[in-house]
Structure 1
Amino acid sequence: MFVVTKSNLGGAQRYVFDIATALPKDAFDVVALCGTAQDSESAGPLIDMLRHAGIRTIFIPDMVRDVRTFNDIRALSSIVRTIRAERPDIVHLNSSKAGGLGALAARLSGVQRIVFTSHGLAYDEPRFFLSRFAIFLATWMTFVLSHRVICISKDTARRAARLPFCARKVRLVYNGLHAPEMLERDKARAQLLSVFPDIPADLPWIGTISELVPNKGLPYALKACEILRRSGGRFVFLIVGSGELQQSLTALIAERGLTEHVRLLGYVAQASKLLKAFDIFTLTSRKEGLPYVLLEAGFASLPVAATNIPGINDIVKDGESGALCPSDDPELFAHALSELLEDEALRMRLGSSLKKRVETDFNVEKMLSGTLAVYRD
């Protein structure tokens, strides 16, 4: 039984879908408990995807991301009732809210194998001290109540193992991908230009696919673009995605004189299919679990410039398969972009190296075998 807080399409949901659909059907009868979509009280697209793949799903409408006392009590009651009705051998929990409620419900119901996957430590996010402390306690209790904790980056695994009573529970299992379907460069560019004809086709395209939220560090990327523009760099930076910072980023682009150099493209369906349209891929996150979009960029053989933070540096090795820069040094990031723009051979070498690394170390087969080992441990 999988339990996940939100049923929109984020990293944790993709992880649940990939493992649930890859488990051998002759050995596992899979059911997924899913909460609401992002900022909604209705079911999200993950539920339809799982059902289309033949996975039984149960919608828990009271399971929402934010703390809502009465909803949380009702969600806990629903999960307990469902677990006692389904009687699963394994409960596999994903994301913070589902982890806390699900671990408690599974313990109350006598489940013999409770596995929690930590997609990052929620208390790392910038919040008021009391909020962070409460989230820290909730995270630690989830770890304690679980029999095993899967971490998807080395740093998260190291820090989780240091928590009291957790050292023997923690296992490192990287996310993995099947080689995604992608359009070749010319077709991908043509498709983007058909929707966004104002993109300069004669300039190098630096691109990212990202939610427009604080954790993604996009103001840092814009500062680097401003430095690059002032030094005479020829480029256009394409930001694919939507989110709460749409208006503030639009204003920042104008304020820094970047209206000719940056385009906010908004949500683009199946955006990863268009990755080969870019010449360079960037990811300027301040916090990550293990970003799927970086694995997809690797499969596209793109050279990557990114911030040197846990999760990202599990995938990209600086100077070998990409360029990594401190998350507080936009000048160095601008310099890394400039080097990539000017050196096609460097772009080819880094992109090829990243593709080999992703194919070898971050495939679904490795993720599944590691997860099965945890189930049987």
Structure 2
Amino acid sequence: MSVRRSICLYTPSTDPSGMGAHMVDLVAEYAATADVALMMRPTSGGRRLLDRAAALGARTVELPSPRDPRFARVVTDFLGTHPADVFHCHVGTGCEDWDGVRLARRAGCRVVVQTQHLPYLVSHPRKRRAYHHAIEEVDRLVAVSDGVRRTYSRIGVPPERIATVANGVAPLSYRIGRDAARAALGLDPRQPVVLTVGRLTHMKGQCHLVDAVPGLLARFPDLAVVLLGDGPLREALEKQVAGLGVGGAVRFPGHRADARQLLAAADVFALPSRHEGMPLVALEAMEARLPVVATRVIGSEEVVDDGVTGALVRSADPAALAAALGRLLADPDLRRRQGAAGRRRYVACFTRERMARDTAAVYEAALGGTGR
């Protein structure tokens, strides 16, 4: 951006997780050359992201619930005293509360941009109509992958209104090393390790990874499968592990702020999701030179180059997942080759710098077109 812009990043999400990390990455890239603000609800996850954004030099705004009578005043008062050239809303499918977008438009923000972080998989006609009504207030839509963009095109979003800007992540500034990462997780330095990171939810499909463990243990008796993260399905997954008799192999360390450092403990990274937008954890694993075994679903299939940087398997197919993981666990040379290829693919396609540059191009195109 050659002209110094004022950018306000906003999400109404109560659990922004990867979406919030994406927003803070934009803050990190823009803070030196633009006036950047971050609006978010101060939930436990939101609080961490607001603090990180403040440390990077952004103004931060703690939002009450959209149902709170103070919500509109907090948004409009801030935009009244800090006018924004670009108001950039971030949502999952677009089913979240929309008042922030409407308030930004009323406050006179020059351009409103909205990033869709998840595919549109909602089938109810009423919700589809509500979505189209909501985006009347938006100048440009952004999808985090081509697969995500196609789901919005299928429900009638005109192609000229939506662009793809693939996710990106920053390189890790320092690494703790394999032995230290394994020690932090209580793992043996020599045992084979499969690791996944993510909220323990239906969407992330960890139950299929657990179902793959008995077959893997038959080949690799000292295997450890680490499910980093927490979420509503933790208890159900623990019961599943116990029912399969694989409690000695599957670990539940919970949420870890140092999860990215702990990737160094793994031999192979697994991502058994039912769907994604574009998974940041897969990009982080590639940056860490790990081969990635993922399901062939929206988002993931654009990250993993099947047979080159890892493997893509059918969703909800534990046998196929076990076979792909087993091939990599049995072949250290293959792991090294695919991990190195993944790192090269990350550098070429999925850096934070490239993501921020492409997002800024959307801003400038919208500003040059004077909005809607």
Whether TM exceeds 0.5 here: the answer is: yes
1:57-116 deviation per Cα after TM superposition (whole angstroms, max 9, x unaligned): 1111124xxxxxx33x65345424433343211100012467722222223333321100
Query: Where do residues 131-150 of structure 1 align in structure 2 (5 Å cutoff)?
Result: 133-150=125-142
Work out which of the residue numbers 20, 26, 48 in structure 1 matches 2:27. Answer: 20
Q: Which residue of 2 aligns with 1:66?
A: none
1:29-65 deviation per Cα after TM superposition (whole angstroms, max 9, x unaligned): 11221123159xxx621111111222111111124xx
Q: Which residue of 2 aligns with 1:190?
A: 183
Runs of 5+ unmatched residues, structure 1: 64-69, 194-198
1:9-43 deviation per Cα after TM superposition (whole angstroms, max 9, x unaligned): 611111111112211634x211221123159xxx6
CA contact 1:7–1:38 (8 Å) conserved in 2: no
Instruction: Measure, in 1, the Cα distance between the counterparts of 2:86 and 2:79.
Output: 10
Change (3 A) 1:78 1:139: farther
Task: Give the match's secondary structure for 1:82.
Answer: helix
User: Does structure 1 residue 318 correspond to structure 2 residue 321?
Assistant: no
Task: Give the match's secondary structure for 1:237.
Answer: strand
Change (3 A) 1:100 1:9: closer
Work out which of the residue numbers 40, 50, 70 in structure 2 matches 1:34. Answer: 40
Q: Which residue of 2 aligns with 1:51?
A: 54
Q: Which residue of 2 aligns with 1:93?
A: 89
1:155-212 deviation per Cα after TM superposition (whole angstroms, max 9, x unaligned): 111222344353211111111122113222122223323xxxxx44442011111211
Q: Which stretch has the larger CA shift, 353-362 or 263-272?
A: 263-272
Give the C-alpha shift of residue 7 in structure 1: 7.0
Instruction: Measure, in 2, the Cα distance between the counterparts of 1:283 and 1:165.
Output: 30
Change (3 A) 1:366 1:317: same
Task: Give the match's secondary structure for 1:216.
Answer: coil
Give the C-alpha shift of residue 331 in structure 1: 0.9
1:243-295 deviation per Cα after TM superposition (whole angstroms, max 9, x unaligned): 11111111100101111221111122311112111111101111211111111
Instruction: Measure, in 2, the Cα distance between the counterparts of 1:174 and 1:153.
Output: 5
Q: Which residue of 2 aligns with 1:116?
A: 114
Instruction: Measure, in 2, the Cα distance between the counterparts of 1:339 and 1:248.
Output: 29
Work out which of the residue numbers 237, 241, 245 in structure 1 matches 2:229. Answer: 241
CA contact 1:203–1:236 (8 Å) conserved in 2: yes
Task: Give the match's secondary structure for 1:44.
Answer: helix
Change (3 A) 1:163 1:145: farther
Work out which of the residue numbers 326, 338, 341 in structure 1 matches 2:329. Answer: 341
Runs of 5+ unmatched residues, structure 2: 1-7, 366-372
TM-score of the superposition, structure 2-length normalised?
Answer: 0.88
Give the C-alpha shift of residue 216 in structure 1: 0.8
Task: Give the match's secondary structure for 2:160.
Answer: coil
Q: How many residues align?
A: 355
Q: Which stretch has the larger CA shift, 5-14 or 163-172?
A: 5-14
Task: Give the match's secondary structure for 2:294.
Answer: strand
TM-score of the superposition, structure 1-length normalised?
Answer: 0.87
Query: Where do residues 284-295 of structure 1 align in structure 2 (5 Å cutoff)?
Result: 284-295=272-283
Instruction: Measure, in 2, the Cα distance between the counterparts of 1:117 and 1:183.
Output: 34
CA contact 1:90–1:375 (8 Å) conserved in 2: yes
Change (3 A) 1:263 1:171: same
Instruction: Measure, in 2, the Cα distance between the counterparts of 1:134 and 1:270.
Output: 42
Q: Which of the pair has the greater relative contact order for Cα pairs under 8 Å at 6+ separation? A: 2
Aligned partner of 1:189: which letter? R
Instruction: Measure, in 2, the Cα distance between the counterparts of 1:324 and 1:186.
Output: 29
